[in-house]
Amino acid sequence: MRAISQDKHGGPEVLGEARVPRPTPGPSEILVSVRAAGLNPTDWKHRAGGLFVNRLPLILGWDVSGVVEAVGFGVTLFEPGDEVFGMLPYPHGVGSHAEYVTGPARAFVRKPAGIDHVQAGALPLAALTAYQALVDTADVQPGQRVLVHAAAGGVGHLAVQIAKARGAYVIGTASAAKHDFLRELGADETIDYRSVDFTETVSDVDVVLDPLAGETRARSLNVLRRGGILVSLLPAAAPEEEAGAAALLGVRVKTLLVEADHAGMQAIADLARTGRLRAHIEATFPLSEAPKAHTLGETNRTKGKIVLVLGGHDAL
């Protein structure tokens, strides 16, 4: 099968199309014929320096939408021909940027008939991250105030929609050019992080979702009400210092690493089926142009998601 592989770390130029053996599903696994596979910042971070997965050669990709080709022993949820989407177990279950991939059956759910493979392939990792942060960790409730940093990004723009689906009042930070986009997603309030100090305009927030860390993470503690929670997607620079500051303010801090989650994927599928969750597709690229997709993603200027498309018109 064709796959995008790398045998060293570096820039997008280290990615190349390779021919590798098609995998075989083991017990409790399914083999998926990939139709679309999203890209996420973790892909270019792993490409550049390994991050959690250091093995080489490496086929990147955790997002996947496609068609079940075969099932392993013990699988009862799916049969060949079923359309499915999901996230391969993060981080070590990597490998969706290929024509076929295997993964645990319960990392997948059925793709809603009303969305295409490109849309489904864009959702899993970013949507699961947002869902696990806002629902499983923060337990967002109707009427609560939720601040989403980098709200136009891959995780952020889905977090805005999930928080709104939970009945929250949502504040999003992004450059001014992306504010109309955020309002279309349902954001109640927008802040231009380039010209406004959010700590001077936002207060009494119940939940902060922070994909940025660093100074933004530290300053976000000050906008939380007592009892509020900050959920970060990156480690703290000074965990002990942060814990002390949070204790003084009477707030909580949690750092989330996304996990494969059948129940979470089903919730995401239900939101997508009912039109309450939709990925914005910034661009699509054929598998062979994965280096171009990485180059675009690393500009950090895109909205929503970038998706690799396989299988021609079958992905649409």
Do 243 and 204 lie in a common domain? yes
Task: Extract the tokens encoding 60.
Answer: 């990147």
Do 6 and 119 lie in a common domain? yes
Is 272 within a domain? no
Do 79 and 131 lie in a common domain? no
Is 266 within a domain? no
Summarised one tens digit per residue, pLDDT across range 134-169 is: 999 999 999 999 999 999 999 999 999 999 999 999
Mean pLDDT score of the chain, rounded to an integer?
96
Do 168 and 236 lie in a common domain? yes
pLDDT of residue 315: 56
Is 267 within a domain? no
| Distance separating alpha carbons of residues 123 and 212, to the nearest angstrom | 20
Tokens 């496609």, located at residue = 66
Closest to 59 in 3D by CA, of 107, 22, 84, 25: 22
Do 299 and 244 lie in a common domain? no
Do 119 and 130 lie in a common domain? no
The total number of structural domains in the chain stands at: 2
Is 265 within a domain? no
Q: Which CATH number characterizes residue 251's domain? A: 3.40.50.720
Segments of the chain with pLDDT less than 70? 312-316
Do 12 and 118 lie in a common domain? yes
Domain span at residue 171? Answer: 126-255
Do 242 and 208 lie in a common domain? yes
pLDDT of residue 313: 42
Q: Which CATH number characterizes residue 104's domain? A: 3.90.180.10
Do 90 and 131 lie in a common domain? no
pLDDT of residue 312: 53
**36 residue type, one letter:** A
Do 118 and 50 lie in a common domain? yes
Is 139 within a domain? yes
Do 88 and 206 lie in a common domain? no
Summarised one tens digit per residue, pLDDT across range 66-108 is: 999 999 999 999 999 999 999 999 999 999 999 999 999 999 9
Do 89 and 190 lie in a common domain? no
